[in-house]
Chains A and B, each alone.
Chain A
């Protein structure tokens, strides 16, 4: 997995969230009165904290955690959003932003003392002086260790390049922490040129480094490389002993290599160090390079070389990807849709004129249009794997943190999805997965007690189903506790104590803001923010989220996202005078309607190779004026695990459909999923077959129910109003 890419995604998301936070704070007057906005404010910081935790950005987590606490109290109504607090929060926002920017450009982090000052102020304002910043400043103080010399041995493994790690980038980052005094390259693994594999790494480095940092900071630098490399770090004074201790951790040959190079860098074999010489050297270095102690000053104050590197890094990041405003791309795709339509009209004209040259030329243009269309669409489509790929690391880290053994299984990562949807799905999926790990999967002991394998499993699955994409997140954990949710909901007076709810409705209660059944608030989840964000984000994508759960067996979250992709393969049918488009994916086959069933009054099902197939007469259902034509056709639709037949007058064939939204006015019209423009400029409606059938089922359930029967019997005196309900 490419971590750089994941980092980039994190930065993008974090900056977007910060922007949101700023906007809300700047509009503080209305925020005060709107609990919705206060919730949103809290969520921005909460999400940044959560994501930062994944990348082990402890400074950011530490800072945002305190800010989050204050925002939580603000949200709970314990604090008022005064003008002072608003401006303080804005300054906190700036600080988080500065920290993130420094990370994004590998620059120098902003002054930590500024952060502490802000936190102290926050604590003062929120009336929990001291308690809010337990021991952190003092921890930082010890962290700002004395200027010291270090010996490093970086035994990069053969696979680091393949994993997208560049040894040079570690060095340039290290250079921001202090000064690299000497580097010895080692390439003992490189023998004959004939064996040389350009993708393999043969390079190891030994270096001597001077700076104001502690061991943990240095280890953090090589965090990403740790997995397949041997990293040794020791203070110069103690190097020999530590090298001996580390003996078992790496192969003899490499140990030997490390020892030799460290000796060359000034390690004393006997453990004694020529102190005077060493310190004299350090002092000299400091005067020459003028290395600023870390934690002071902004990036501008760092050495010229470093800032140059920063700029180079920034530029490289810019050129790899082009961030384009989604609206521009939408406009382009709309235009291309127009072009396809215009091209079809041109073809028609060319055929009418009968000029061969013109027709040939038109063919050429059509081919180009087709290519442009495919290209433009592929810009939008990405594999859902792009989001799934961030989860292995999430699961690994979180399971470690929780002390649970959890395995992640991914399937269907190649299902394609609109780019905008993928971007917006990341957050909700993250929340669900983290919740599944934290609350879903039980502790090892409990799992054993319940007779399950000690290792829990979280599954991510994606598949296309009749024009929508379904994403499933399932775990084999404890399942949702129906009673506990009910009790909590009643306690919070979300529902009446005597309410009768179906299981699904009860599970849906966990999507209410601030609803959490976890007894403890942990770093990972339990504040009850996750799930309402999840539902909100999914609904914003016009999706549906549902939960299936069985106590002690597991939980499945199912997210169904509708077809909002810009272009689909459609199948044109005619009913009455109207033309409709059916998504091709949901069509199994087409058969002719037997003549004896063509009348409107005959029964509404068909024997399809001994299978009962319920029929839906489109023209009748839509109340279209239509004389029954001699021959009708049945389009057989696959809807999940069942089938249905759609009776239409004519089949008109396949059609590349550019989806145009119908606008909010038609939102309640669920059976119509959108519209498109045909080659002749007319508008045709796209059927949402799932909704269409659901609609019919609901209608029939009302029409042919006991209540309807009663109303029918008593219709002589009953009010017609009654029947409708």
Chain B
């Protein structure tokens, strides 16, 4: 809970400095299957059309592969698989959102791509419109949720990017996966829920 308030105040501050509405953050909304999620635009580097990925063997399913981002090799994660939903199928609107994550291990910025079905729009969301994560019901690990944003009578999930794309955790999962069965990875997730 304390982490959440901290997060919120950060959003507020950053938005106040460069944008019109005080106490508002800007979020990119995107589709995963028929669900809509949002992430803070401050951690987004760019959005790319889906192009060829190279699969990396012996890694968990949700790591779809690596791509060439102007010479840098960037891992791409299927968020739907990460959230235990069906695998994202490629379509005309498939996109890769490139996100900056801080890598604690090497103390530098690491780029990670997330594969989504479509990106929608960038919204300014008032911090007053952000609710705490519900204890259950969102079919998602609660620590993945930074908050729920109220938007036209419905709620969309604001993702806690550092948690969702925690390199430490992904590395741990891929190590478990080394035994050759992805049940282990799934089991770990369930354990945390």
Q: Interface residues, chain A, CB within 8 Å of chain B?
A: 334-335, 337-338, 578, 621-624, 660-669, 671-672, 675, 677, 681-685, 724
For the complex, would chain A's binding face be called helix, strand, loop or mixed by DSSP majority?
A: mixed
In the A-B complex, list the 7 residue pairs whose CB atoms are closest, starting with the nearest: A622-B57, A683-B54, A668-B175, A660-B73, A664-B105, A675-B73, A338-B71
Given known contacts A672-B56, A677-B71, A683-B54, A724 and B181 CB-to-CB distance under 8 angstroms: yes
Q: How far is the CB of A276 from chain B (nearest CB, A)?
A: 72
| B35 interface hit (Cβ, 8 Å) | no
| B1 interface hit (Cβ, 8 Å) | no
Q: How far is the CB of B16 from chain A (nearest CB, A)?
A: 31
CB-based contact B59/A677 at 8 Å? no
Number of B residues with CB within 8 Å of any CB on chain A: 30
Type the 1/0 row for B98-142, where 1 means its CB is closer than 8 Å to any CB of A. Answer: 000001011000101000000000000000000000000000000
Residues of B within 8 A of A663 (CB): 73, 75, 103, 110, 167
Residues of B within 8 A of A675 (CB): 54, 66, 73
Q: A335, A663, A724: which has the most chain B beta carbons within 10 Å?
A: A663
CB-based contact A578/B55 at 8 Å? yes
Type the 1/0 row for B159-193, where 1 means its CB is closer than 8 Å to any CB of A. Answer: 00000000100110011001101001000000000
- In the complex, A669 Cα to B170 Cα: how many Å? 12
Given known contacts A624-B57, A677-B68, A665 and B181 CB-to-CB distance under 8 angstroms: no
| B42 interface hit (Cβ, 8 Å) | no
- In the complex, A663 Cα to B56 Cα: how many Å? 13
- In the complex, A420 Cα to B145 Cα: how many Å? 42
- In the complex, A677 Cα to B66 Cα: how many Å? 11
CB-based contact B179/A666 at 8 Å? no
Q: How far is the CB of A344 from chain B (nearest CB, A)?
A: 14
Residues of B within 8 A of A665 (CB): 63, 75, 110, 112, 167, 170-171, 174
Q: How far is the CB of B139 from chain A (nearest CB, A)?
A: 25
CB-based contact A669/B110 at 8 Å? no
CB-based contact B54/A668 at 8 Å? no
Q: How far is the CB of B31 from chain A (nearest CB, A)?
A: 25
28 contacts between A and B (CB under 8 A): A578-B55, A578-B57, A623-B57, A624-B55, A624-B57, A660-B72, A660-B73, A662-B73, A663-B110, A664-B105, A664-B106, A665-B75, A665-B110, A665-B174, A666-B59, A669-B56, A669-B58, A669-B59, A672-B56, A672-B57, A675-B54, A677-B68, A677-B71, A677-B73, A681-B52, A683-B67, A683-B68, A685-B56
CB-based contact A622/B58 at 8 Å? yes
CB-based contact A662/B59 at 8 Å? no
Number of A-B residue pairs with CB-CB distance less than 8 Å in the complex they form = 82
- In the complex, A682 Cα to B75 Cα: how many Å? 13
CB-based contact A578/B54 at 8 Å? yes
- In the complex, A166 Cα to B174 Cα: how many Å? 60
- In the complex, A623 Cα to B181 Cα: how many Å? 12
- In the complex, A624 Cα to B112 Cα: how many Å? 24
CB-based contact A683/B178 at 8 Å? no
Q: How far is the CB of B106 from chain A (nearest CB, A)?
A: 6
Residues of B within 8 A of A334 (CB): 71
Q: How far is the CB of A617 from chain B (nearest CB, A)?
A: 13
- In the complex, A453 Cα to B70 Cα: how many Å? 61
User: Can you name 10 extra interface pairs (CB under 8 A) apart from A669-B59, A677-B68, A681-B52?
Assistant: A622-B57, A623-B58, A662-B73, A664-B103, A664-B110, A664-B167, A669-B56, A677-B71, A683-B66, A683-B67
Given known contacts A663-B75, A663-B110, A682 and B52 CB-to-CB distance under 8 angstroms: yes
- In the complex, A125 Cα to B66 Cα: how many Å? 57
Give A672's nearest chain B residue, CB to CB.
Answer: B56
- Residue A667 contacts which of B65, B72, B171, B179 (CB distance < 8 angstroms)? B171
Q: How far is the CB of A662 from chain B (nearest CB, A)?
A: 6
CB-based contact B105/A669 at 8 Å? no
- In the complex, A684 Cα to B66 Cα: how many Å? 9
